[in-house]
Amino acid sequence: MGIDFAAGNGYKWLFGPHGTGFLYVRQELQGTVLEDELFPGHLRHNYTPWVDAPEPGQPALPFAARTDAQRYQPGHVAYLCYAAVHEGLAFIDEVGVENALAHSVALNQRLLAGLDAARYTCISPHVDRSPIITFRGPGRPRVAAALEASNVVVSLSPTEPQIRVSPAIFSNEDDIDALIDLLNGADLNGS
């Protein structure tokens, strides 16, 4: 694909836990354009009793930097977390990225059609191809209280009256209908 560098997280849409992610550096660029920062590598013992005869002129613990992609991986990874990411990726592969996206977009379209347009203005530019949709709406405190009381989890801007909804493959039409009923039916016009 001609990619030089790529980095991302493993949580959210990849179904992995926080603290997981990936870094890709094209082999020809490793250790050059993106320089080593933490210098993971291998310390060698150069003193007795580890070796019979220490190499003269070498420190007691000579360091050899990694020359492969592990040069960017300081320490150990959280193996259980990456096992979860692996299963998440297997699930995505089984469902299909296009199918998962189509499911989310359809739910967002349902939400857009169902919300009271006089109270909620969609501010997302690409509602036909994004799994995330955002609305400007009534004041945050009342929206937050109504959502919390109904155990509905969406993202609310801390400073703006914005509601971000990102239904995934585990969400369904009943979830969206419940959100529509909650937002349209509650008295949320106060600050």
d(CA 155, CA 147): 10
Query: Is residue 116 domain-shared with residue 148, that is, in the same domain?
Result: yes
Domain of 45 in residue numbering reads as 5-95
Query: Is residue 12 domain-shared with residue 91, that is, in the same domain?
Result: yes
Least confident of 17-21, 67-71, 93-97, 120-124: 67-71
Whether 191 is covered by a domain: the verdict is no
Query: Is residue 11 domain-shared with residue 90, that is, in the same domain?
Result: yes
Query: Which tokens go with 166?
Result: 């990102």
Whether 190 is covered by a domain: the verdict is no
Query: Is residue 125 domain-shared with residue 89, that is, in the same domain?
Result: no
What is the tally of structural domains in the chain? 2
Which of the four pLDDT bands, split at 50, 70 and 90, describes residue 172?
A: very high
How many C-beta neighbours within 10 Å does residue 182 have?
16
Query: Is residue 109 domain-shared with residue 164, that is, in the same domain?
Result: yes
In this structure, are residues 129 and 148 in contact, taking their beta carbons and an 8 Å threshold? no
- Over residues 27-85, the pLDDT tens digits come to 888 877 766 665 566 677 889 998 999 999 999 988 777 777 777 776 777 889 999 99
Say whether pLDDT at 191 is over 60. Answer: no
Ranges of H-type helices in the chain: 79-95, 97-114, 140-149, 173-185
